[in-house]
Each structure stands twice: as structure tokens, then as C-alpha cells.
Amino acid sequence: MDAARSTYERALTWFEWISRIPRGSGDTGRASVAVASWARDRGLEVTSDEFGNLVIRKDATPGREGEPSLALQAHLDMVCQKVAGSSHDFSRDPIDVVEEDGWLHADGTTLGADDGAGVAVCLAILEDEGLSHPSLEAVLTVDEEVGLVGAREMDCSRIRSRRMLNLDLTVAGQFVVGCSAGTEARVSLPLSRERGVREVVRLTLSGLRGGHSGIDIALPRHNAALLMGEVLSRLLSGGRPDGGHAETVAADGALAGLALVSLRSGEKRNAIPAEATAELALPAGAGPEAARDLDRALGPVRAALARACTGDDAGARLEAERLGEREVGLLSAKEAAAALALLSELPQGVSAMSREFPGATETSDNVSIVRLGEKGLDALVSVRTNRPGGAGPIVAGVRAACERAGAALEVEGGRDPWLCDPESPFVCEARATYRALFGEEPTVTTTHGGLECGVFSEALPGLEVFSLGPDVENAHTPSERMRLESLERLCAFVRALVEGTEPRMAVDQGR
């Protein structure tokens, strides 16, 4: 077995190992302890902090002690999402990793290749006793997926390297030299209710692809929260609120006496909602005919959804379930219309593309979490931009919609995005290594996702850092999968860059 292939096999082993350890954001303690023990068992120096961030060091091999140290960087946590009806418990159950047709995926949950793949590559390189290398550091952080928390809380003076390879990208063949910054707009609209005993029907919209709100935002995919808002507007008022999103569902008449009880969609701030549920109360004293009327009204809506939800969203389905009678809080027609009108005015999708990096998204937003409950409507609008000040116009639009509706708005974030010199010596050295190994140039670009590179660049003056990774599709969703051939190429490249010698033979790209 050649050396590069051996590194890949090790990475697969350690990816499957880390996948057996619960490590959702906010629950990385066991993973941090396990990786620290793994490193100490191999005689490596380990430092950790109160948050669980790790720095693992390996001394340079003989003859390379004078070279600049190199840090490999990844995050331990993963986004935890599962398909409707799954009994998987992310706090206890291992991820069931499945290999199929050259890809790895999980059984009904997120795979966690973001960023378990990066962690696995770090461990494979650190474990390789046959590899010539300078002093190495593995910088493994926690809670990256919930606002880069681990990196922001870390004492970065513990990091000695001034060259860093971030292994948190989900597109192979790219060297990313910049990332977006995030701003969060929290919308809150108080609503009044009347209590009453009614028969309740639950509507469930599922089968949408969803995706990563940075990486996948430019793809033609629907937001389940906004799509359910359109469905409810049709059923309750027979028309779409003025100024809303492009019409998707059919314009059928409202059903007299229906009342909106609740709406829930989205679980993660960095994911496009793929499912939504709503509860409706049938008219007081309604007999079986009211449920039949609702079923008939849903027919044209389902047909319109089938026409609109194509491509990645072709599996969309709208289902109704009768839950029986119970006491619920009922929104009046006026209050429901106000809530749905505000929801329809919240912006969604790409607002600007990059001029410097063709094909790269520059500014976008995603209505990531929506809750309509007893106290009112709460929505989180997550804004991303790769340009300083780029979030301003979107936040202004959200503020204007809130003012029209009488809703409150809180804005958090607003850090500048990260951009490094694409012609830095480290990037140029890495490009030469990639070209020698694969016979082609990497694509130097930016990502619309968030990366810890910016945090470390601010904390470590003079740091040269860029990001790369394997192909990971549909990150942050139960459809997440990783292409194995791209992981093998990543391992070969990282090994060659660490070794610091021009590769003699390219990896078999057809493997």
C-alpha cells in the first residue's frame, strides 16, 4: 500500500471512530476527552481549555526542526439533524455510517463529515510515523457550528504556528482564501389569542432538500418556513399577502372558520429549513364535513407544490393529520394575517454575487428558524456577507418590514468578513504542491460559509491560512454525504504539503 493510500485508510478509520462519539454542538465534551486521550496514548503533547478546545503538538522529524511549524485545524462539533420520525438520539447514539456507490452517508441523520472529515485527516497525519514533517499542531475547536464559539473563546497564544491549513471546506479542489461574516436579525411580533376547544389538524410539509445556509443558498431550493406560510395564507385568506415572496401555491378560496394555532420550522441557524409543521383549528361545532372541506382545499395546493418543487425539492409533500379536540389558543383572522404578512416580507436568498471571485455568492440571507406560539411570532433571519458592510441593506429591509408590522427587532453580529492574500507564500507553495500532485490548478476562491480562519487571523498577526476539504453534499441535513475519492485526494495533498517535497506520482483520480 503506498503512503498516500495508507493516510486515506487511516482517515477513514478515525472518521468512523469519531462518528461513534456524540458530538453535537454544545455536547462535545466526550469527543474532546476521547481525542485528547488518543493523542496522549501516542506520546503527543496535548493542551486543552475549559471549553474543550485542543491543541495537539508533534515535534519535527530529524533535520526539519528549523522549519516553520504548520497547524492543521478542524472543529469537533457537528450539526445534528434527522429525518421526520427518526428515533435517533444524538446525545447517546452513534452515527450509522453507510458506504454506497463511492460515497459515505448516514442512516437518516446528518453524517457529520462537516467537520469529522477534517478531524480524521488531522489524526491520520499525526499518527503517521513514516512521514517527514516540520513541527505540527492540530488545533481542534468546539461549537464552530453555533457561531465559531470555541475559536472565539480560545486563548490563541497557545498556537505557535503561523501557517495554518483549515480542513473545514465542503468543495474539493478549492483553496478558499475568504469567508463570510454573519449577522442575525431576531424578529418578534406579539399576538393575542382567544382560548377555545376545537378539533385540531396538523399540516406537515416535508421532503424538501434544505441545506447549508451559506454553501447551498444559491441553489434553487425552497425554504419550508416560507412555503408553509404561503400554504397557510391560501387556506386562511384565499390570497397571498401583498409584497410577499413569489407565488408558489394555488390561489384558492379560504375555508371559513379556520383558525391558525401554531407554526414551527427550522432548527439550526445555519441551515435552510427543510420541514415545517402547522396546526389549524376547525370551525367550532364543525362536523365531519369540515375536515372533508379541508382535504378538498388541500388538493389544489398539493398540485401546485408538485409543480413548483422540482429538482432537489421534487420529494416535497404536504400531509394533514387530525389530532382530535383540545383546548388551544386561537389567532383571529386579523392576527394570523398580520403574522403571515410579516413572514412573507422577510427576505430570502442571494442578493449579491462576488465581482472579484466569479460564481461566488457575496451577500445572502436565510429565514432559518420560525416559531409561532402562544406569545406571538418569532423568526431568525441569518444574514451572510463577504463584503464589509454588505449586511446593511438586508437588515434595513427587515427593519422596515418590522416597523410596518409593529414587530420588535434585535440585531447581533456584524463582524467583518475574512479575506487573506491569495498570493501569500504559503498559498503559492500549496498551489505548486497541488499542481505537481494532480496536474491541475486548484480554484482559488472565497466561501459564503463561515470559517474559523478569520478568528485565528485576527488573533495571530502574520498568520497565513487557507481552507480546503473533500466534497460534502447537503451539509447540515440528513441528506449529507461525502465523496470518498475526494477524501483520498485531500489526504494525498495534505500529506504532500506536510512532507514538503514535490510529489513524484499523482493519486489515481479514477479510484
Q: Among 371, 395, 413, where does a domain finish?
A: 413
Distance CA 168, CA 78 (A): 11
Residue-wise pLDDT for 120-160, tens only, equals: 999 999 999 999 999 999 999 999 998 899 999 999 999 99
Distance CA 6, CA 210 (A): 35
Residue-level pLDDT at 415? 73
Distance CA 470, CA 171 (A): 6
Distance CA 346, CA 266 (A): 15
**Helix pair angle (484-499, 113-127), 10° resolution:** 40
Residues 6+ positions from 197 with CB-CB distance below 8 Å: 325, 326, 327, 328
pLDDT above 90 for 19: yes
- Specify if 505 maps to a domain: no
pLDDT above 70 for 240: no
- Specify if 506 maps to a domain: no
pLDDT above 60 for 239: no
Q: What does the block give as the cell for 254?
A: 379560504
Q: Determine the average pLDDT of the residues in 325-347.
A: 96
Per-residue pLDDT band for 254 (boundaries 50, 70, 90) equals low
Q: What does the block give as the cell for 379?
A: 423568526
Residue-level pLDDT at 246? 39
Pair (287, 422) in one structural domain: no
Residue-wise pLDDT for 399-445, tens only, equals: 999 999 999 999 998 677 999 999 999 999 999 999 999 999 999 99
Q: Among 364, 395, 413, where does a domain finish?
A: 413
Give the H/E segment covering residue 485.
helix 484-499
Q: Determine the average pLDDT of the residues in 196-210.
A: 94
Pair (381, 430) in one structural domain: no
Pair (381, 243) in one structural domain: yes
- Specify if 511 maps to a domain: no
Residue-level pLDDT at 504? 37
Residue-wise pLDDT for 136-147, tens only, equals: 999 999 999 988
Pair (393, 477) in one structural domain: no
Report the percentage of the chain scoring pLDDT > 70.
94
Strand spans (E) along 59-158: 70-75, 97-100, 103-106, 136-141
Residue-level pLDDT at 3? 84
Query: How is residue 64 annotated by DSSP?
Result: -
Per-residue pLDDT band for 2 (boundaries 50, 70, 90) equals confident
Q: Among 374, 395, 413, where does a domain finish?
A: 413
Query: How is residue 109 annotated by DSSP?
Result: B
Pair (357, 490) in one structural domain: no
Residue-level pLDDT at 238? 58
Q: Determine the average pLDDT of the residues in 303-322.
A: 94
Domain that holds residue 38: 3-176+417-499
Question: How many domains does one find in the chain?
Answer: 2
Mean pLDDT of the chain: 91
pLDDT above 80 for 510: no
Pair (106, 242) in one structural domain: no
Peptide bond into 115 cis (omega under 30): yes
